[in-house]
């Protein structure tokens, strides 16, 4: 089933949820921009939801040190650093994000502010979101270099797996 998207990522997810037949109680929200996510990652997300987690995200520890900044005083000016979060507690989150259907529906009914992922809406309900291991091949293909990497991943898969 294909449903026309909305004006925002949240609205598109909500429209998809509204159209979902009643028999499905686990819902995955995936970025089309992550076409190479391995099936094992998808399976791990589904399994964690089936095991009782209200919301599950695949994620990787960042390999860079991450800084929090304040916005630059003028466009192009250097940004002042305000903090360096402890990297061992940070995770770079991917998709598909998995949800108990009722929980995701409640999040979309109650949370109105703009967010960058659905799991953060569940966090705002005060429910626990859990992390399962993500995969380096689940990166977003949004920049020219990502396309080069995607082609390399596909070439390796063709060589190793025949597809």
For the bound state, the minimum distance from the C-beta of residue 5 to ligand LQXTBERG, rounded and expressed in Å, comes to: 12
Contact flag: residue 116 with ligand LQXTBERG (CB under 6 A): yes
Closer residue to ligand LQXTBERG, CB minimum distance, 30 or 157: 30
Q: With DSSP H G I counted as helix, E B as strand and the rest as coil, what are the percentages for the chain, rounded to 5?
A: 40, 15, 45
Angle, CA of 40, 42 and 45, to the nearest 5°: 110
Applying CB under 6 A, does 127 fall inside the site for ligand LQXTBERG? no
Site for ligand LQXTBERG in 43-62 (CB under 6 A): none
Segment contacting ligand LQXTBERG by CB under 6 A, of 15-23, 60-68, 79-87, 93-101: 93-101
19 φ, ψ to 5°? -90, -5
**CA angle, 129 then 43 then 52, to 5°:** 40
CA 26, CA 48: separation in Å to the nearest integer?
10
**100 pairs with which residues across the strands?**
26
Q: Which stretch binds ligand LQXTBERG (CB under 6 A): 39-47, 81-89, 90-98, 125-133?
A: 90-98
Q: Applying CB under 6 A, does 95 fall inside the site for ligand LQXTBERG?
A: yes
In the complex with ligand LQXTBERG, which residue's Cβ is closer, 53 or 94? 94
Q: Which of 28, 63, 60, 46 is closest to 138 using CA atoms?
A: 60
Q: In 3D, which of 116, 123, 66 has the Cα closest to residue 94? A: 116
Least separation, in Å, of the C-beta of 161 and ligand LQXTBERG? 25
Residues lying near ligand LQXTBERG in the complex (CB under 6 A) are found at 9, 31, 33, 93-95, 116-117, 140
């Amino acid at each position: 089933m294909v449903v026309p998207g909305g004006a925002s990522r949240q609205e598109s997810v909500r429209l998809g949820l509204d159209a979902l037949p009643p028999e499905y109680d686990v819902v995955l929200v995936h970025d089309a921009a992550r076409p190479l996510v391995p099936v094992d990652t998808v399976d791990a997300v589904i399994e964690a939801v089936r095991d009782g987690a209200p919301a599950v995200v695949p994620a990787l520890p960042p390999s860079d040190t991450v800084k929090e900044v304040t916005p630059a005083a003028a466009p192009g000016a250097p940004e002042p650093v305000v903090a360096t979060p402890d990297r061992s507690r940070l995770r770079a989150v991917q998709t598909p994000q998995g949800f108990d259907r009722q929980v995701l529906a409640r999040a979309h009914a109650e949370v109105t502010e703009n967010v960058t992922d659905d799991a953060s809406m569940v966090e705002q309900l005060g429910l626990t979101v859990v992390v399962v291991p993500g995969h380096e091949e689940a990166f977003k293909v949004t920049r020219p270099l990502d396309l080069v990497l995607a082609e390399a991943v596909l070439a390796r898969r063709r060589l190793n797996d025949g597809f």
